[in-house]
Amino acid sequence: MFKVGIVGDGYTAAELLRLLAGHDELEPVCILSTDNVGKRIDDIYPQLTGFSSLTCEESKIENIIGRCDAVFLALPHGLSVTMAMELLPAGIKCVDLGADFRLKDAALYEKYYEKVHEAPEMLKEAVYGLPELYREQVKKTDLVANPGCFPTSAILPLAPLLGAGIVEPAGIVIDSKSGVTGAGRTAKASNHFCEVNEGIKAYGVGTHRHGPEIAQELSFAAGSQVEMIFTPHLVPMNRGILTTTYARLCSGAKAEQVREVLEGKYGKEDFIRVLPDGRIPHTKWVYGSNLVDIGIYADDASGRVVLISAIDNLTKGASGQAIQNLNLMLGIAEDKGLKFPGVHP
């Protein structure tokens, strides 16, 4: 049994505790907070009653070292770096659910997160935590940069096709719809019920922080710089992401190769389902699960490729993937605590 800590008490922290309640090799022993020190976590999140009775402790390194084998850093950007700098030398593995280690270029981090990175030398050390693409690297590292929710939904369908030279690396359009939990638990006027209900809106058009993260990983897959545009939208649901990606077949590539490549890459994966022809993903099918559903439309005559993916933003888009990564880091079966279907209806 490995002992783990959680730093942060937002939605992703609660989701970690929900999932860890069904994990028999990871034991959460502490949860650290800023605003809720002294409160029981099941008072903050009553759904955890009977499954976690941890009391929120002050966010201090002393409350982790000597107690934990690994830590989930479920913090806003800019707050994970200093903690990781102290935890890693103490032999504590870290999975950062924030953005501090996702971008390999410190200048891009400063541009999009408006903060100077405190340890740019650590960016090379961190492994980008998409296990389906970087499994062997995740197994060997002590520091994982857990991907963003939008990037997870966009990168997984596209990366194998770019790597195989099936779709063009230019003119890619990524359109994503997310539930409100993607904005976190902190109260904001733009996320109030009356602002969100019965409406849909685009936001961060051309400037969203996940754009460079997606471009970075797709460029790695393609072996050259991709040209793409990413637009997120907020929809009136609690959780889930539906991403529709538009691309074009490379000269000489055939529509049938799109399915061949994706099924060849993901056919044996535990958490990725390449759906049969004619079946288009629905966020309800993956609700509460660590699954990714991918639907495909490809046409030889027009050269068009449309990829639709669905994930739960709090599970495969955050906490479920974080546990999947830590399982690999600790030599535990990758699907431990995560092998279950979505909740529908």
Q: Provide the pLDDT for residue 63.
A: 96
Q: Provide the pLDDT for residue 186.
A: 79
Above pLDDT 90, what percent of the chain?
Answer: 95
Q: Is 62 exposed, middle or buried (0-12, 13-18, 19+ CB in 10 A)?
A: exposed
User: Domains in the chain, ordered, with CATH?
Assistant: 2-125 (3.40.50.720), 150-313 (3.30.360.10)
What is the rounded distance in angstroms from the CA atom of residue 318 to the CA atom of residue 167?
28
As annotated, the active-site residues are: 149
| Per-position DSSP letters for 100-160, written without gaps between them | TTT-S-HHHHHHHHSS--S-GGGTTTSEE--HHHHHHHHHH-SEEEPPPHHHHHHHHHHHH
Local confidence band at 209 (pLDDT 50, 70, 90 cut-offs): very high
- Strands 70-73 and 143-145 turn out to be unpaired
Q: Provide the pLDDT for residue 180.
A: 94
274 three-state secondary structure: strand
Taking only the tens place, the pLDDT of each residue in 255-306 is: 999 999 999 999 999 999 999 999 999 999 999 999 999 999 999 999 999 9
- Cβ atoms of 174 and 232 within 8 Å: the answer is no
What are 182's two structure tokens?
Answer: 């993607």
Local confidence band at 104 (pLDDT 50, 70, 90 cut-offs): very high
pLDDT of 187 higher than 80: no
Q: Is 67 exposed, middle or buried (0-12, 13-18, 19+ CB in 10 A)?
A: middle
Q: Provide the pLDDT for residue 230.
A: 98
- Cβ atoms of 338 and 271 within 8 Å: the answer is yes
Nearest in space to 118 (alpha carbons), one of 147, 80, 92 = 80
Average pLDDT, the chain: 96
Taking only the tens place, the pLDDT of each residue in 56-88 is: 999 999 999 999 999 999 999 999 999 999 999
Average the pLDDT over 184-190 and give the result.
80
Local confidence band at 326 (pLDDT 50, 70, 90 cut-offs): very high
